[in-house]
Chains A and B, each alone.
Chain A
Amino acid sequence: MSPRALGALVARLGRSLRRVLGAPDYERYLAHMRLHHPGEPALSERELFERRLRDRMERPGGRCC
């Protein structure tokens, strides 16, 4: 495996792990906004991150016993 391919694999694993933890995938969100809502302002990475956080922390069922 070339160093570059290895780097890409590590980056991909990292992105997956972030999403397992519940952090949003910002690139995917931007792609979604470009495709479906062109011209509308997109949230910044921090705004999206915090929006997801609030959503998770305000409902029962975000965490269990």
Chain B
Amino acid sequence: MRKTLSILVWIAVAVAGALAFGRLALSRGETISAAWLLVAALSTYAVAYRFYSKLIAAKVFALDAARRTPAQRLEDGHDFVPTNRWIVFGHHFAAIAGPGPLVGPTLAAQFGFLPGAIWIIVGVAIGGAVQDFVILAASVRRNGKTLGQMAREEIGPVAGYTALVAVLGIMIVLIAVLALVIVNALRSSPWGTVTIGLTIPIAMLVGVYLRWIRPARVLEASAIGIVLLIVALFAGRWVAEHPTLAPIFTLKGTTLAWLIMGYGFAASVLPVWLLLAPRDYLSAFVKIGVVVALALGIILVLPPLQMPALTRFVDGTGPVFAGKLFPFAFITIACGAISGFHALVASGTTPKLLERETDARMVGYGAMLVESFVAVMALIAACVLTPGVYFAINAPPAALGTTVESAAAAIRNWGFTVSPQELTVLAAQVGEKSLLSRVGGAPSLAVGMAHLFSRALGGGAMALWYHFAIMFEALFILTTLDAGTRVGRFMLQDIVKHVWSPLGRRSWYPGTLITSGLFVAMWGYFLYQGVLDPLGGINSLWPLFGISNQLLAAVALCVGTTVIVKMGRGRWAGISLPPLAWRVVVTLTAGWQKLFSPDPALGFLARASALGRALAAGSLPAGRTAAEVQRMIFNERLDAAVAAFFLVSVVVILADSTREWIGLWRGRVPVRSTETPPELDGGGVARRATAGAAS
């Protein structure tokens, strides 16, 4: 009876999901409710979790609740600590969820809501969540080894070292593009600048409190910090309305870029307790709070999606970023569908905390589904704006001009309607002078969120909600930026110590200063060129970030496949090979087009040649000097070199893995499990159950 009921419920869930997808896909010319998107997402997640993740847990890994985990065997009280699965879930989710799933879907909305929605929902179920789960399970079975160690040991040294250098490259591009998102949100915005600026002394105050006033009282200190953040929100408004203070904090993009580089350097050389740690706590609270609030806002309002299912820009002529729907929708949205970076988290702290092997399913697969849901919500928030407003905020000045009249005219040419007054009124409503060309996704998401929150609470206070959303996104981003700069510095130290060993010594302060400066200069260069780029910078940097993140996903899936084959379960490689093949095809196509497309809007080399021809003919782009154009040409070539490096890395890792797989298949490499030998719980624990029975 119960079984029949269960079957009926699951059939109903599946049918609801299929109907919702059908409704989304067939909508043409009329706006449809975000409810359809929510139903499609939630029912797909439910079915995927209940059936697909269970299949992986039971058949591929045969996860066993009685098999002792590294946390149990190696418990030491600080690194390896058996932890309740809900706590590990929360910790893992807070670590994987960053600004990526917010920015990517917002940018990809230029194709309409449908491509992003399908990729986020389907991609996570068969790609991203599988990757996170497989890497977590593999690491748990190997005493919590990292992805780099596993790549070296399971595949070979070539793949291992390529992965190591690639991670450093990814960090540089990631930090540069995120910093650029902040610069574009704060440019000429005294309110935003003051509020975000104040979060730094607030974090330091919380740090001092935690170290000297009430040591280790994390919750108390965070509560004080959150109250101060709200004060900072109002202080920003006060400054923005102040006749003499407002101009002082109305900053240009280049000034903001220098300030952010200074902040990254400080975060890398100051003690962690002073800045990084307290900011991390505040950000984790705000993150969880806003994700819950956004979900409530969307469910309460159930807004109509103003963006059409598909826009004309699927042909590759879009102003937000260049390139056709395939492959660029799948490069632009990485986090939320599949993110290689998660493999570093899933092989970091998380495997050292799992109390039972079977918890890997909820933590690895489950937390990624939640991140995907965050991406769906970001997509909804971007699509509640009318297309006219969306493109006014997200298209670069080269496409819109610099006045509301020129922007409205350009947008009318694309076939969407928006009036200059509408743009002026909206900017005034959110407390800004202008919203034009605030590329990078954060401002349009903030307008969308302000719209939702304001409507959910009966209207009004748009300006406060907008700046609250900007503060929340900036906190997210700065947490990735400062921690990333510090980690990048350590990685750089590990590399340069082969050149001059004192630089690698972590205790030698001049070495810390030099390597921190070097790493900040690396990402700072890309940031600065992005700020000056008339196409907005995001246009070239975000695809590079997407390609690099997918490169890491390819590494993770190669490791996962090798691990599965070595367990003697090669016939189950079917769970990791299709997403791997898809990632490789998408990454190589996108990388190739960014390099060699003859269209100057898309190909780096074509744009360098076009600029070179313009320079030779003496017809410089508006307002640019010859020296500036020379530098733009150099930057295009540099971007091309970075893209080429990522492409070669993908090929090297895939070739090295294929060599290992052929060896296994031919019997040259023994099919022998590389796992830590199992130790079963002998203590009469009555929880012995395999993953299949446990659910």
Q: Could you list which residues of chain A lie within 8 angstroms of chain B, going by C-beta atoms?
A: 14, 16-26, 28-29, 32-33, 36, 43, 45-46, 48-65
| B391: Cβ under 8 A from any A Cβ | no
Q: Flag if A64 contacts B216 (CB, 8 Å).
A: no
- The CA-CA distance from A13 to B437 in the complex, in Å, is 45
**What 1/0 flags go to B181-219 for Cβ under 8 Å of A?**
000000000000000000000000000000100011011
Q: Flag if B78 contacts A52 (CB, 8 Å).
A: yes
Rounded to whole Å, the gap between the CB of A14 and the closest CB of chain B is 6
| Residue of A14, A17, A28, A65 most packed against chain B (CB within 10 A) | A65
Q: Flag if A20 contacts B90 (CB, 8 Å).
A: yes
Q: Flag if B78 contacts A24 (CB, 8 Å).
A: yes
Q: Flag if A33 contacts B77 (CB, 8 Å).
A: yes
Q: A20-B91, A23-B216, A65-B178 are in contact. Are A55 and B171 (CB under 8 A)?
A: no
Q: A22-B280, A59-B487 are in contact. Are A64 and B100 (CB under 8 A)?
A: yes
Q: Write out the residue numbers on chain A whose beta carbons fall within 8 Å of the beta carbon of B549.
A: 65
Q: A57-B487, A63-B484, A65-B480 are in contact. Are A18 and B219 (CB under 8 A)?
A: yes
Q: Can you list 30 A-B pairs with a CB-CB distance of less than 8 A?
A: A16-B84, A16-B86, A20-B87, A20-B90, A21-B91, A21-B94, A21-B222, A25-B81, A29-B78, A48-B78, A49-B215, A53-B277, A54-B272, A55-B349, A57-B276, A58-B490, A59-B490, A60-B348, A61-B146, A61-B345, A62-B95, A62-B345, A62-B483, A63-B487, A64-B341, A64-B342, A64-B344, A64-B345, A65-B98, A65-B545
Q: Write out the residue numbers on chain A whose beta carbons fall within 8 Å of the beta carbon of B545.
A: 65
Q: Flag if B486 contacts A58 (CB, 8 Å).
A: yes
**What 1/0 flags go to B88-128 for Cβ under 8 Å of A?**
00110011111110000000000000000000000000000
Q: Flag if A65 contacts B341 (CB, 8 Å).
A: yes
Q: Flag if B486 contacts A57 (CB, 8 Å).
A: yes
| B234: Cβ under 8 A from any A Cβ | no
Q: Write out the residue numbers on chain A whose beta carbons fall within 8 Å of the beta carbon of B174.
A: 65
- The CA-CA distance from A25 to B223 in the complex, in Å, is 19
- The CA-CA distance from A17 to B89 in the complex, in Å, is 12
- The CA-CA distance from A22 to B77 in the complex, in Å, is 13
- The CA-CA distance from A16 to B87 in the complex, in Å, is 6
Q: Out of A14, A25, A45, A57, which one reaches B219, CB within 8 Å?
A: A14
Q: Flag if B77 contacts A61 (CB, 8 Å).
A: no
Q: Write out the residue numbers on chain B whose beta carbons fall within 8 Å of the beta carbon of A16.
A: 84, 86-87
| B347: Cβ under 8 A from any A Cβ | yes
Sample of 6 further A-B pairs with CB below 8 A, known A20-B87, A60-B348? A18-B218, A20-B91, A22-B280, A60-B171, A63-B480, A65-B99
Q: Flag if B273 contacts A50 (CB, 8 Å).
A: yes
| B339: Cβ under 8 A from any A Cβ | yes
Interface members, chain B 266-325 (any A CB < 8 Å) = 272-273, 276-277, 280-281, 284-285
Lowest 4 A-B CB distances belong to which pairs?
Answer: A61-B344, A61-B348, A20-B90, A29-B77
| Residue of A48, A53, A64 most packed against chain B (CB within 10 A) | A64
- The CA-CA distance from A57 to B95 in the complex, in Å, is 12
Residue of A nearest to B174 (CB): A65
**What 1/0 flags go to B249-278 for Cβ under 8 Å of A?**
000000000000000000000001100110
Q: Flag if B218 contacts A60 (CB, 8 Å).
A: no
Q: Flag if B344 contacts A45 (CB, 8 Å).
A: no
Q: Out of A18, A28, A36, A51, which one reaches B81, CB within 8 Å?
A: A28
- The CA-CA distance from A65 to B476 in the complex, in Å, is 9
Rounded to whole Å, the gap between the CB of A26 and the closest CB of chain B is 7
Q: Write out the residue numbers on chain A whose beta carbons fall within 8 Å of the beta carbon of B100.
A: 64-65
If over half of B's interface residues share one DSSP class (helix, strand or loop), that class is named, otherwise mixed; here it is helix
Q: A19-B87, A52-B78, A54-B272 are in contact. Are A64 and B480 (CB under 8 A)?
A: yes
| Residue of A49, A61, A63 most packed against chain B (CB within 10 A) | A63
Q: Number of residues in B with C-beta < 8 Å to the partner?
A: 58
Q: Write out the residue numbers on chain A whose beta carbons fall within 8 Å of the beta carbon of B341.
A: 61, 64-65
Q: Write out the residue numbers on chain B whose beta carbons fall within 8 Å of the beta carbon of A56.
A: 349
- The CA-CA distance from A54 to B349 in the complex, in Å, is 12
Rounded to whole Å, the gap between the CB of A22 and the closest CB of chain B is 6
| B690: Cβ under 8 A from any A Cβ | no
Q: Flag if B215 contacts A53 (CB, 8 Å).
A: no
Rounded to whole Å, the gap between the CB of A46 and the closest CB of chain B is 5
Q: Write out the residue numbers on chain A whose beta carbons fall within 8 Å of the beta carbon of B178.
A: 65
Q: Flag if B97 contacts A51 (CB, 8 Å).
A: no
Q: A53-B277, A57-B486 are in contact. Are A64 and B78 (CB under 8 A)?
A: no
Rounded to whole Å, the gap between the CB of A31 and the closest CB of chain B is 9
Q: Write out the residue numbers on chain B whose beta carbons fall within 8 Å of the beta carbon of A32.
A: 75-77
Rounded to whole Å, the gap between the CB of B417 and the closest CB of chain A is 35
| B521: Cβ under 8 A from any A Cβ | no
Q: Flag if B284 contacts A21 (CB, 8 Å).
A: yes
- The CA-CA distance from A33 to B174 in the complex, in Å, is 41
- The CA-CA distance from A49 to B278 in the complex, in Å, is 12
Rounded to whole Å, the gap between the CB of A43 and the closest CB of chain B is 8
Q: Write out the residue numbers on chain B whose beta carbons fall within 8 Å of the beta carbon of A54.
A: 272
Q: Out of B76, B96, B99, B272, which one reaches A53, CB within 8 Å?
A: B272
- The CA-CA distance from A43 to B76 in the complex, in Å, is 12
- The CA-CA distance from A50 to B421 in the complex, in Å, is 54
Q: Write out the residue numbers on chain A whose beta carbons fall within 8 Å of the beta carbon of B349.
A: 22, 55-56, 61-62
Q: Flag if B480 contacts A45 (CB, 8 Å).
A: no
Q: Out of A14, A20, A26, A33, which one reaches B94, CB within 8 Å?
A: A20
Residue of A nearest to B272 (CB): A57
| B469: Cβ under 8 A from any A Cβ | no
Residue of A nearest to B284 (CB): A21
Rounded to whole Å, the gap between the CB of B189 and the closest CB of chain A is 24
| Residue of A51, A55, A60, A62 most packed against chain B (CB within 10 A) | A60
Residue of A nearest to B167 (CB): A60
| B491: Cβ under 8 A from any A Cβ | yes
Q: Flag if A46 contacts B216 (CB, 8 Å).
A: yes
Q: Flag if A63 contacts B218 (CB, 8 Å).
A: no
| Residue of B178, B215, B487 most packed against chain A (CB within 10 A) | B487
Rounded to whole Å, the gap between the CB of B368 and the closest CB of chain A is 11
Q: Flag if B215 contacts A46 (CB, 8 Å).
A: yes
- The CA-CA distance from A59 to B494 in the complex, in Å, is 12
Q: Out of A19, A49, A61, which one reaches B216, CB within 8 Å?
A: A49
Q: Write out the residue numbers on chain B whose beta carbons fall within 8 Å of the beta carbon of A29.
A: 77-78, 81
